Amino acid sequence: MPRFVIQEHCARTHHFDFRLEKDGVLKSWAVPKGLPDRPGIKRLCIQVEDHDLSFGAFEGEIPQGDYGAGRITVWDHGDYEAGEWNDDLITFTLNGNRLSGDFHLVRFKRGKPAEWLIIKSTVKT
């Protein structure tokens, strides 16, 4: 099963980096307020460049002056089951240590192409 990771990133602004393994890379989004933990909650996320699979285990300090400078820790990780995946909608079920359940990533119809909403849709038991 493909993996996911959520990394807490204390950079210029505190946020969470959400990453889904697909096609040999980690598809990545910055989530300023963290992933939703209850159904119906919507959070803005900004798609960023893909990352190498090895980055999913990274914890440490990115030096000042480098892109993404700041401290990164793994907040949660696990595997996920992919549902629909197209240019405007990604559905999946996370099986993590801290966060589990069904989610949707929905690209904004208006606005910048990198802007998405992440929505927790149901509670997984």
Q: Domain segments of the chain: what residues? A: 3-122
The two three-digit tokens of residue 6, written as one number? 């959520």
44-94 pLDDT, tens digit each? 999 999 999 999 999 999 989 888 889 999 999 999 999 999 999 999 999
Radius of gyration over every alpha carbon of the chain, rounded to an integer in angstroms: 14
Instruction: Give the span between the Cα atoms of 4 and 95, in whole angstroms.
Output: 9
101: alpha, beta or left? (left if phi > 0; alpha if psi -120 to 50): left
CA distances from 69 to 11, 13, 31, 66 (A): 6, 10, 16, 5
Is the predicted pLDDT of residue 124 greater than 90, yes or no?
Answer: no
Neighbours of 49 (CB within 10 A): 9
Is the predicted pLDDT of residue 11 greater than 70, yes or no?
Answer: yes
